[in-house]
Amino acid sequence: MFSWLGKTASSCLSPTGRYAPMSKDDEQGSGWEDDALLWSKDLEKHSHGEFSFAVVQANAVLEDQSQVETGRHATFVGVYDGHGGPEASRYISDHLFNHLIIISHRKDPGLAQENREMSEDILKSAFSETENGFLTLVRRAYAIRPVLAAIGSCCLVGVIWKRMLYVANLGDSRAVMGCLDRSNRIVAEQLTRDHNASMEEIRKELTNLHPEDSQIVVMKQGVWRIKGIIQVSRSIGDAYLKRPEFALDPSFPRFHLPEPIQRPVLRADPSIVTRRISGNDKFLIFASDGLWEFLTNQEAVEIVHNNQRAGIARRLLVTALERAGRIRQMPYHEIKKLDQGVRRHVHDDISIVVVFIDHDMLDGDEAAAPQLSVRGFVDAVGPSNFNFS
């Protein structure tokens, strides 16, 4: 799975997965090339433009999963930020996109593929099927591996379908659009809502939904947490905070609740934004919260706007790592020497996909764009079954 680790510096993965020499500019850059825990795709094509992809591992086991699926008329992006373990994010990566395809076919079984439509209902159903599937897996394994009930994942999905954009989110991964304003300056528009207890509106929402529970949100070690345990209010998984049958006993002190829950504490219904892509919309940044810990929305879009496309996701990632190092008084060349797990004390797993929108392709012939399925970090590239388009 990680067979690429330890390759020599001054090389990167080409679209075929082979190593290709870097440009002179990159060779003289920040020295990311010998970071064995950083993976990137400089630039690939999708139906409406190009995309750049980068991932870095910090945990002992990578808990982030990510994917891009390109079709003839549509593009799918998924960023899944796991917590407690990798099982939920891996499950989402293996199932959510497939549910989307199956449900879209089920909705319009008589239509030709090119006439099918995307909708918020299809997205919601795909999330629901994924949640139910993972909870079924937890139920089947609960007797022999109860800790699966404490594993969950944020889930951020974007679909570009012709001139429409659909973004669905659970948790605090974030999608940001880079747009030009009337003065032709690049500005950031956050498309997603952070479902995190650090946000006052989320704390109010939880308090209103659980008026009988004075401990629904509490401050613990300087951080607002739901039931004193978790920061995100929506996720796939985290079964012990959704169904009383998955309660964990005191042998799991981190996840044990003194009183059983009467109804779900966390939710799995995504926030969804739908918008028509305008001529001022230039690119999208999809990223797990590890990026936004160190970069503001505006800083991120300015970096993308002011630099060449090739390798831009990696540039964002390295910028975040350098800032993490400055906070911990540890330069990036020292961070790279840290092992998985130890590195988590400096930064989180981070996944970034930058999707450029080329407007001359929105109404054009997308047949030239390859139908690819790209999985972050594992360097799995193959044909996509994004055939509802």
CATH number, domain of 187, equals: 3.60.40.10
Residue 217 lies in a domain: no
Please report, rounded to a whole number, the percentage of residues in the chain having pLDDT higher than 70: 86
| Residue 107, in any domain of the structure | yes
Which element (helix H / strand E) includes 236? Answer: strand 236-237
To the nearest whole number, what is the mean pLDDT of the chain? 88
β strands within 310-357, DSSP E: 350-356
Residue at 270 is within a domain = yes
Confidence of residue 15 (pLDDT cuts 50, 70, 90): very low
Q: What pLDDT, on a 0 to 100 scale, did the predictor assign at position 12?
A: 32
What single-letter amino acid sits at 21? Answer: P
Q: Report, as an integer, the average pLDDT of 251-272.
A: 93
Q: In sequence order, what E strands does 133-227 have?
A: 152-153, 155-161, 164-170, 174-180, 186-190, 217-220, 223-226
Look at residue 30 in the predicted model and tell me its pLDDT.
67
The tens digit of pLDDT for each residue in 110-136 reads 555 555 678 999 999 999 999 999 999
Candidate from 16-30, 70-84, 299-313 with smallest mean pLDDT: 16-30
pLDDT recorded at residue 7: 27
Cite the beta strand spans of 4-73 per DSSP E: 11-13, 19-21, 38-46, 49-56, 64-70
The pLDDT, as a whole number, for residue 32 is: 82
Whether the pLDDT of residue 13 is over 80: the answer is no
In a domain, 173, yes or no: yes
Say yes or no to pLDDT of 277 above 80. Answer: yes
Mean pLDDT of 301-321: 97
Amino acid sitting at position 150: A
Q: What is the pLDDT of residue 375?
A: 93
Number of domains in the chain: 1
pTM > 0.85: yes or no: yes
* Contact yes or no for 244/260 (Cβ under 8 A): yes
Q: Would you say residue 314 lies in a domain?
A: yes
pLDDT at 91 over 90: yes
The pLDDT value recorded for residue 360 is: 79
Q: How far apart are the first and last CA of the chain?
A: 31
Q: Is residue 226 part of a domain?
A: no
Q: Of 32-36, 251-255, 309-313, where does mean pLDDT reach its minimum?
A: 32-36
Residue 169 and residue 281 in contact, taking contact as beta carbons nearer than 8 Å: no
Look at residue 216 and tell me whether its pLDDT is greater than 80.
yes
Domain annotation covers residue 389: no
Concatenating the DSSP letter of every residue in 264-303 gives -SSB-PPEEEEEEPPTTEEEEEEE-HHHHTT--HHHHHHH
**What is the mean pLDDT of the segment spanning 163-179?**
97
Q: Is residue 48 part of a domain?
A: yes
Nearest Cα to Cα of residue 209 among 234, 191, 229, 192:
234
In 3D space, the residue among 179, 170, 282 whose CA is nearest the CA of residue 231 turns out to be: 170
* Residue carrying the six token digits 């790279």: 336
Range of the domain at 249: 11-196+232-383
Closest CA to 321 of 341, 302, 296, 347: 347
